[in-house]
Amino acid sequence: MKKKLVSVLTVGALTASVLAGCSGGEEEKTSGGKEVLKIWSFTDELKEPIKKFEEQNDVKVELTIVPIADYPTKLKPALESGVGAPDIFTGEIAFLKQWVDAGYWANLSEKPFNASEVKDDYIPYVYDMGKDKDGNVRALSWQTTPGGVYYKRSIAKKVLGTDDPKEIGAMMNSMDGVFEIAEKMKGKGYKMFPDEGSIRWFAQGNEPQAWVNDKQELVVTEDKKNYMDYAKELRTKQYTALAPEWSPSWFAGMDKPVKVKENGKETETEIFSYVLPTWGLHSVLKENAKKSAGDWAVTSGPSPYFWGGTWLGVYKDSKKQKLAYDFVKMMTQDEEFLTEWAKETGDVLAYKPVTDKIKTDFKDEFLGGQNNYEFFLDQADKITPGIVTKYDQQLDTLYGASVMEYVQGKKSKDEALAEFYKKVKNAYPDVKVPE
């Protein structure tokens, strides 16, 4: 899961490699007599699989890594012109739905790919994410990225009398339950979460709906509106450490007490839990909570959610589509490779023929020996397919800003919602907002 820390936190550290040759409309080139396959991505996670593919197929694979912030703008001109275009390129959740409908990826539902035949082998929401508006498969992913609530066992025992993930999950199966625990944590001098944004993943509730429906209407459910009040309550009742996500204090709180200024006084407090997905364990917690390794566990929150993911597909004008899809198949359907990959990286796979065989064999010492693999697969199966739209990244950002204005007392709830609707209309004139 190294990829997620790269794509979210350190994108500026990566630079794109400049490669010679093209894939669309130009003469094919070889490297040392070997056929060359070109891949573009925003993360380095494909480096090891590429080595495996090169060995198995006696080919040369050239990987171009472009920082996530620049990735769409650099890749789009190449895909449209064919000049310098890759044979394979990856897509990230933030812009995936735009790209599956853009026509840049080949239709994998058609021959000779026939990806529709393996539909039942995948976690439903993962497979659904790679389909275009007409139901054709354009991209596939090898991973699923459901989330949970990671918490410190020692604090749970002191405050709640147990550190058992199932018991803690039962206590947090509703927002009311979460706040009951938060009050108990406060009473013992702890903070429930690092910040108010921690609960945004539960804003969809148990009946999630897309931000924009088929009628091009903005959908703000009661659960999403209630999220504003829950976030406000977290701030008002001082249940968080006021440590914004990805800030130094957010990271620091994973392994040591953090300073919090409340009621005019500065005190030190420990943070009980962090809301993170699968990759958060390996790329975030393990990297920043080395002293507390073994004192963690993961459990479910009020509703299932997912965060992130990487999909890959074949460029529609590639002259090497068969070879390109061979790589995609290895990455998403090769049982031997995926079994080895899962055991080496801890990546939670979306391909059921493999997960059904290996899921009982996992335990993570960082989590006190817990089998987080089975837990996350169970959460993944509960995620509703079809709720992600091309509008999500922008609307999530706009809504989050409006929520924080309400949390900070800058606007009333109605004023914050009205401002959100106004910004949505400005950003997307085609979307109908509430009057």
- Angstrom CA distances, 24 to 72, 139, 155, 328, stand at 18, 19, 57, 19
112 upstream amide cis, omega within 30 of 0? yes
Picking from 261, 287, 263, 262, the residue whose alpha carbon sits closest to that of residue 274 is: 287
91 burial (CB, 10 Å; 0-12 / 13-18 / 19+) is buried
Per-residue tens of pLDDT for the chain, all 435 residues: 444 433 333 333 333 333 333 333 334 555 567 899 999 999 999 999 999 999 999 999 999 999 999 999 999 999 999 999 999 999 998 889 989 999 999 999 999 999 999 999 999 999 999 999 999 999 999 999 999 999 999 999 999 999 999 999 999 999 999 999 999 999 999 999 999 999 999 998 888 999 999 999 999 999 999 999 999 999 999 999 999 999 999 999 999 999 998 888 899 999 999 999 999 999 999 999 999 999 999 999 999 999 999 999 999 999 999 999 999 999 999 999 999 999 999 999 999 999 999 999 999 999 999 999 999 999 999 999 988 989 998 999 999 999 999 999 999 999 999 999 999 999 999 999 998
In the chain, pLDDT over 90 holds for what percent of residues?
87
User: Per-residue pLDDT tens for 83-115?
Assistant: 999 999 999 988 899 899 999 999 999 999 999
**CB-side neighbour CA atoms (13 Å) of 280:** 25
Kind of pairing between the strands at 88-92 and 310-314:
antiparallel
Picking from 130, 113, 132, the residue whose alpha carbon sits closest to that of residue 122 is: 130
- Angstrom CA distances, 180 to 41, 45, 96, 164, 435, stand at 43, 40, 37, 17, 36
Element (H, E) at 211: none
User: Per-residue pLDDT tens for 352-386?
Assistant: 999 999 999 999 999 999 999 999 999 999 999 98
CA atoms of 392 and 376, how far apart (whole Å)? 23
Q: Say if residues 86 and 315 touch (Cβ distance below 8 Å).
A: yes
Provide CB contacts within 8 A for 247, sequence distance 6+.
Answer: none
CA atoms of 77 and 82, how far apart (whole Å)? 8
